[in-house]
Amino acid sequence: MKKIGIVTSGGDAPGMNAAIRALVRLSAWNNIETIGFLRGWEGIIKNNFINLDARAVSGILHLGGTILKTTRCLEFKTKEGLEKAAENLRSNNLDGLVVIGGDGSIRGAYELSRLTDVKIVALPASIDNDVYPSDETIGFDTAVNSALTEINKIRDTAISHERTFIVEVMGRKRGFLAVEVGLTAGAEVILVPEVEYDEDAVVEAIRKNARKGKNSSIIVIAEGVGKTTSLAEAIEKNVGVEVRVSVLGYVQRGGSPTARSRYLASIFAAKAIELLLDGKGGATIGIQKGQVTSTSLDESCRNEKPLNLELLRLAEKLAV
């Protein structure tokens, strides 16, 4: 293992820079040269990269986003794109490639791994937390805490105006972010795509709260549910309370990574470099039951990570 490439792909997540720093510094420690491709897969296809040494990653640990930039790349989804990318890995004499990204990036890493001997390892980094089989992704904890901070502020207005707020959080098609945010923010109702949507039940829950004298409620809804506006109307009409909608948006993606996001970035990077030094690739790193694990890219792509519905039930009991 003499030289490896690093790429960040898909949506940015807080802690990606912490992962880049850790990969570069651990490589330097093991006398491995590192380059960073710019703008995700596009950088590999266009052979657009920068050299990264230990000093080049100074002062980035606490920064949100990714210094390597990231973009959507349609060309990478074509056979030609993938082949050009595989060729550029070879032309740069790379022995390994570390891909930092979410669900889609790992799928891309898998596709690319089928066309090259270069060892490819994926580090799950995504605010959606939807990478199988890792219990957690880099950036997820930061996004949860960012959303929590926002909801704390929204609750001030909710209580002062005795309103119900519907807070829409990110998470694409999954409800990981919504469950964690809802549970820890003390949301009265949590709605996720993994559970069938039942408008009547939500209306009934808010009505019950009102009867109990709880004049303000917070409903956390995952963007994947897709019912935010119609739910607001249904509650206003049927319960007769004032409802406001707040879409948290891109605020959840940015910001300085929390300790936990930095910690995961560090131990995931250490495992990636360990695998590469052992001459292994084709793997997704993860954390399962507190241990850092490695799973084949293939298995990681083929499976869908289950949502812990137990937490939803716990959240419901805690919000009585």
User: Minimal distance in Å, beta carbon 144 to a copy of itself?
Assistant: 4
User: Minimal distance in Å, beta carbon 174 to a copy of itself?
Assistant: 17
Query: Do residues 110 and 297 touch, judged by C-beta distance below 8 A?
Result: yes
Concatenated DSSP letters for 106-168? HHHHHHHHTT-SSEEEEEEB-TT---TT-S--BTHHHHHHHHHHHHHHHHHHHHHHT-EEEEE
Alpha-carbon gap, residue 147 to 234, rounded angstroms: 25
Alpha carbon 187 to chain centroid, angstroms: 22
Q: To which H or E segment does residue 8 belong?
A: strand 3-8
- Of the pair 150, 194, the CB lying nearest a copy of itself is at 150
Q: To which H or E segment does residue 315 belong?
A: helix 309-318
- Of the pair 115, 277, the CB lying nearest a copy of itself is at 277
Q: To which H or E segment does residue 41 belong?
A: helix 41-45
- Of the pair 23, 121, the CB lying nearest a copy of itself is at 23
User: Minimal distance in Å, beta carbon 17 to a copy of itself?
Assistant: 9
Question: Quick check: is 128 catalytic?
Answer: yes
Query: What does residue 307 show for φ and ψ, rounded to 5 degrees?
Result: -90, 140
Q: Which of 12, 95, 103, 128 is catalytic?
A: 128
Alpha-carbon gap, residue 273 to 286, rounded angstroms: 14
- Of the pair 115, 210, the CB lying nearest a copy of itself is at 210
SS3 29: helix
- Of the pair 99, 301, the CB lying nearest a copy of itself is at 99
User: Minimal distance in Å, beta carbon 307 to a copy of itself?
Assistant: 15
Alpha-carbon gap, residue 154 to 24, rounded angstroms: 40
User: Minimal distance in Å, beta carbon 224 to a copy of itself?
Assistant: 18
Beta bridge partners of 3: 33
Alpha-carbon gap, residue 148 to 159, rounded angstroms: 16
Tokens matching residue 271:
């495992």
- Of the pair 113, 164, the CB lying nearest a copy of itself is at 164
User: Minimal distance in Å, beta carbon 200 to a copy of itself?
Assistant: 23
* Residues catalogued as catalytic: 128
